[in-house]
Amino acid sequence: MKDELMKDEEMSNKKDTSLDVKRVSGIELPAYMQDEEILGLANVAEFVIPPRLKIVQKQSDDKLLEIYKPGDVLLTPSNTTVALLDPETKTCSFNFVPLFMYPEWATWNPIALKGQEPAIRYRTTDPTDAIVAKARNKILREELIPGRDDGLKMRHVEHLNFIIMLVDHEHEGTPALMSFSKGEWTSGSKLCSLIKMRTKAAIYGCVFTAHIAFRPGSGKGTWYGIDAANPSDRVAWVTEEQYDVFKKLHIEFEDHHKNSRLKAALEDESNDVDPAAVVASEEF
């Protein structure tokens, strides 16, 4: 009898390793991998490409639209759900902390060259580069593509890139890219203003709410964008524990940017919205 009780206790203490998993950036990691030495990342570490926050649009990939609807928010390339649009209010929201911000300038090929040429012809984070002035001038931001006689034009675009951390969210812990450009550039500049209004506070200590908003466009199309605001249902600051962690991340991303290791995954933007609908901002 004693032996049977000991056997039952032994069985009850055994772990079902097939179910013992943890979530890592939306991907389940088996228990047998959790304590293993991490190898093979020496060269990978030279390239830091955070997942990008993506709003599903009516022009998005058909396969994506079979699962999600316009206005839903994902993290690409894993297509991890961040927020789902409420069918009644036509909006959704999530809280985030901006860890690091930097501008980037890119020269984009027209959608007509999709599949023939890379989406981005040239990109830079150098504020003295020649395309910076062009991107900021609504007359100069579009140019004929050199070497072609079909009249196709390339566009110089300024991107306001924020490396953010989701908070109050199941996927908190994974830094992500939130980028604003063209018709959404003004929304990005408003976020910059909100950050600057938090006087004497570090960028990584501030919490904001991202509201997904419908954009009626200019008669040529519609899309969904992000309106950032101060939170209304929680304190506007991170916790002391979060502050120390986010400060370290800020320093890391600043170093990655300084040493040209940080790359924004902008290319997928070419499929996000109707180029005829999202015109360039009047400012940039």
User: Who has greater pLDDT, 116 or 8?
Assistant: 116
Beta-carbon count within 10 A of 22 CB? 11
Beta-carbon count within 10 A of 28 CB? 8
Q: d(Cα 102, Cα 21) in Å, to the nearest integer? A: 36
Q: d(Cα 215, Cα 226) in Å, to the nearest integer? A: 10
Length of the chain in residues, anyone?
284
Per cent of the chain over pLDDT 90 is: 71
Position 125 confidence tier, pLDDT thresholds 50, 70, 90: very high
One DSSP character per residue, 70-124 reads: TT-EEEETTTEEEE---TTTS--EEEEEEEEEEEEEEEEPPGGGBTTB-SEEEEE
- Position 11 scores a pLDDT of 44
User: Who has greater pLDDT, 252 or 30?
Assistant: 252
HSE (side-chain half, CA atoms, 13 Å) at 257: 20
pLDDT exceeds cutoff 70 at 228: yes
Instruction: Give the residue from 176, 241, 166, 172 showing the smallest Cα distance to 24.
Output: 172
Instruction: Give the residue from 38, 14, 33 showing the smallest Cα distance to 22.
Output: 33
pLDDT exceeds cutoff 90 at 155: yes
- Position 221 scores a pLDDT of 80
Phi first, then psi, for residue 111 (nearest 5°) are: -60, -20
Express each pLDDT in 198-208 by its tens digit. 988 999 999 99
- Is residue 27 classed as helix, strand or coil in its secondary structure? strand
- Position 76 scores a pLDDT of 93
Position 274 confidence tier, pLDDT thresholds 50, 70, 90: very low
Express each pLDDT in 231-267 by its tens digit. 999 999 999 999 999 999 999 999 999 999 999 999 8
Express each pLDDT in 47-89 by its tens digit. 899 999 999 999 898 999 999 999 999 999 999 999 999 999 9
Q: How far is CA 213 from CA 72, 114, 161, in A?
A: 11, 28, 19
Torsion of CA 210, 224, 180, 53, to 10 degrees: 60
DSSP 8-state symbol, 269: G
pLDDT exceeds cutoff 90 at 7: no
- Position 73 scores a pLDDT of 98
- Position 54 scores a pLDDT of 96
Express each pLDDT in 14-28 by its tens digit. 434 333 434 444 456
- Position 18 scores a pLDDT of 36
Instruction: Name the residue with tokens 């599949």.
Output: 115
**Range list of H helices, the chain:** 2-13, 31-34, 62-65, 130-135, 185-197, 240-258
The structure tokens listed for 86 are 């409420």
Beta-carbon count within 10 A of 142 CB? 14
pLDDT exceeds cutoff 80 at 94: yes
